A and B are shown apart, each in its own frame.
Chain A
Amino acid sequence: MVDISFYIEHWFAWAPGLNSLPEWKEWAMGSREILPEGQADVKFVPPMQRRRFSRLTKMSLLAANQANTVGDNVITIFGSRHGEFHRTSQLLESLIEQEPLSPTAFSMSVHNTASGLYSILTGNKQPSTSIAAGVQTLEQCFIEAYGWLKSEESDRVLVVIADEPVPGNYEQFIDYQEYSVAAAFLVSLNKPNDEPARKANLKLTSCSATLKCSEMPVLSLLRLMLSENDDCQVINGNSNWCWKSELQN
């Protein structure tokens, strides 16, 4: 039985129209929505490098960059249910049309695109993992992070989650409303000294929760992080993972 606890020291999330904490708070209260279109601004990347980035790559790198407050030598985990699926889909369409494939799109269509580019950009030589685990992608990323923390290889691990709606042809296979969302979480086993942090607990369970959500799992976790309550819990309605969180001063 998995039952793990860790601290979320810092986090950052981006979605079209939601660029800052106050905007996310408005979203959590229901007075602001995620817009259908929008690009993450990655001006911190030199133009010649960022020109090849997909929307998903940009979102991932922005979140990683903003949540990482500890410098470049941090173990990273990049999770995405669909990864660079828009690239793959475009490549498949080119094949159908019998057109030559774009070498750039091909080279950037792998699941670890963001992971690789982040390590190149930051010169980070620490291990990096890319995970796709269907509706459990979010939870499996934190289990992986917990493993790294327990191995004492590193005090902190950066977990980056990003996804965007699948291309139209594939919508019928998707079980919940998808949005473009990227979020990054800096996690550790020990409470950071000087500031309040949320202790998160993750458990595979059938416990009754205050909130059972069939939405993108990362959005459920963000609701938890944004909660006004000191104690709260939410169940990822797609997989029965129960998230609890408690604010510690």
Chain B
Amino acid sequence: MSQLEQELKVLIIDTLELEDMTSEDIDSNEPLFADGLGLDSIDALEIGVAIQKKFQIKLDANSEDNKKHFQSISSIAKFIESNQ
């Protein structure tokens, strides 16, 4: 697991107030939404805001690609790396 993935897990747990959860509980390749971790659309927005704040990345709210980028921790990490 990369350092960035680890950072993202901690960011998501803190931002979404996932009480009782640690970064070990999140699999980098597991889907974040619906059947995976069980996050919902408000969480998606919240993660978007947190990532923009922390990594100074611009997200296009209407982009179809967002769904792909936000699939899992590892896909978010790849997205951030390719935009820095």
A102→B20 contact, CB < 8 A: no
Q: Report the nearest B residue to A107, measured CB to CB.
A: B42
Q: Report the nearest A residue to B40, measured CB to CB.
A: A48
A104→B46 contact, CB < 8 A: yes
Cα A232 to Cα B42 with chains together (Å): 49
Interface status of A100 (Cβ within 8 A of chain B): yes
Instruction: Choose one: A52, A99, A103; the contact of B17 (CB below 8 Å).
Output: A52
Minimal beta-carbon separation of A54 from chain B (angstroms): 11
Minimal beta-carbon separation of A160 from chain B (angstroms): 24
A100→B17 contact, CB < 8 A: no
Interface string of B44-61 (1 = CB under 8 A from A): 011001001100000000
Minimal beta-carbon separation of A97 from chain B (angstroms): 11
B18→A51 contact, CB < 8 A: yes
Cα A101 to Cα B45 with chains together (Å): 10
Interface string of A74-111 (1 = CB under 8 A from B): 00000000000000000000000001111110010000
Q: Which of A47, A103, A107 has the most CB of B within 10 A?
A: A103
In the complex, chain B residues whose CB is within 8 Å of the CB of A101: 49
Cα A51 to Cα B21 with chains together (Å): 11
Chain B: interface residue count, which band? 10 to 19
In the complex, chain A residues whose CB is within 8 Å of the CB of B53: 99-100
Interface status of B26 (Cβ within 8 A of chain A): no
Q: How many A-B residue pairs have CB under 8 A?
A: 26
**A-side interface residues, number (CB < 8 Å):** 11
Cα A100 to Cα B45 with chains together (Å): 11
Cα A51 to Cα B38 with chains together (Å): 13
Q: Report the nearest A residue to B52, measured CB to CB.
A: A100
Cα A52 to Cα B41 with chains together (Å): 13
Q: Which residues of chain A (1-53) have a CB below 8 Å from chain B? A: 47-48, 51-52
Interface status of B19 (Cβ within 8 A of chain A): yes
A47→B20 contact, CB < 8 A: yes
Q: Which residues of chain B (1-25) have a CB below 8 Å from chain A? A: 16-20
Cα A48 to Cα B39 with chains together (Å): 8
Cα A102 to Cα B43 with chains together (Å): 10
B42→A104 contact, CB < 8 A: yes
Q: Report the nearest A residue to B20, measured CB to CB.
A: A47
B49→A103 contact, CB < 8 A: yes
Given A52-B17, A104-B16, 18 further pairs, Cβ under 8 A: A47-B19, A47-B20, A48-B38, A51-B16, A51-B17, A51-B18, A51-B19, A52-B42, A99-B53, A100-B49, A100-B52, A100-B53, A101-B49, A103-B42, A103-B46, A104-B45, A104-B46, A107-B42
Can you list 6 A-B contacts with CB-CB less than 8 angstroms, sorted by A residue number? A48-B38, A51-B16, A51-B17, A101-B49, A102-B49, A103-B49
